Structure 1
């Protein structure tokens, strides 16, 4: 029996080649370097005032008055912090600020969200009238004296509602949310209607869960606004135990400034007068700075989603 060897089988698969790396052009490299340097410079310029503020808050009077405090505290001193935080009224006013901010932000978000969702529907009768009324209030208002008389006549003076209700809707925030809802997928809402959901059901179960970015952004806007607000409380409240912390710090700042102008007082008083501005600003902005990182990821996307019309 004769056997023949079959020819050897050879694989003719092409050899694997290393991926080609596309090198950046010289212009792209230069642009990235310049862009990075510019961003670092802008960040440094932005952070410098805040770092200087912190340094002054913990520095002693002599170094502050001599202008020697820059990026690091000199003559480390916490007298002003101790005096402020030892005052029971400070903590009472701080509690008021938290309550005012939470309640006012919650009410503002409910009113702004429902109003924006309603006027985002083109089939709404009188839609243009409602939008016109809202925009009109951006340019015209009743004035300080009529507003004060109205709040007083409604019996809202020395109450939480004197702060909450007059500023319950920001027209800018309203228009941003309106633009976002106008770009919302109509197919999802139509599918929800087929499943039997009404207007409020669609808003609560479909629209709001998919609007976390813009809602988080509006919460930040409102919370910062109410937290920093002091004039409404200064105008409509005359009892110290009802003040927010911003009014407390404002009064402390005014008293320290007057004392500094007269050039009198004890060593503790002069120390407070020298860095009370830095301490008050630091105590005011610190809670917002601590809150911001938790919602920063929603901030840019929320503003862009509500500001760009497709």
Structure 2
């Protein structure tokens, strides 16, 4: 996409309202220990947007000194996880031996493929003093023929991701291409993910070139043509039409989507696959301890009954 800033942005066109396919109000899910998330995908009317098959919004939550997040080792197959933070720090450890502290604005992409296990915990420094956390975790379903690839891990600090800025607008390109910039993240299928912040009265375009696309409003309020939306909301659009988003108050949102997969996926717990039999195998592999071990970890989340 070639993007040029405009001093007099178009606020919408008559087609924009018709282009809105679905509005999802995220459902609150309690993950235990008082840690709740808002889940936008999968939804009863929409399993995926492009390859995005899972979308969780966690926080804002304030951990007191001595407290923190402790997601014990658990398995994945057939997907890639994207962890993106606005506030707080998370220590990632996985069975490939990767140990990485995730900080705000960084891109953390773990591709599970044929199988990986990982943990997510509050780092020792932040646990000692307490911290505020706000962020998103998404799953990217892998395309046919690539579901069983070897596990990989990529991490890019915020300083390594392209940022496009104009008066009242800032856009960090986390994956794929947008606003004339391209992320260095390697992907196994075409998708895009962008953090966009707008001052009140500022507008931004949502690229019409992507086959499937959505906007997740983290906070704030926007107008699209004659309609207004407040966060948190997932707005899913039909392909092809031009969309212009205008902020009515300071707004933070994510632009996301990509090429649709060739078919639906089965989801059970942390497993995604085009094959039910493959998920059954993964269930038995975790139950019998056949997944690789996460170094420095001595706990694990049991297979749900």
TM over 0.5, shorter chain:
no
Relative CO higher for 1 or 2, CA cutoff 8 Å, sep ≥ 6? 1
- TM-score, with length taken from structure 2: 0.23
In our comparison, the structure showing a higher alpha carbon Rg is: 1
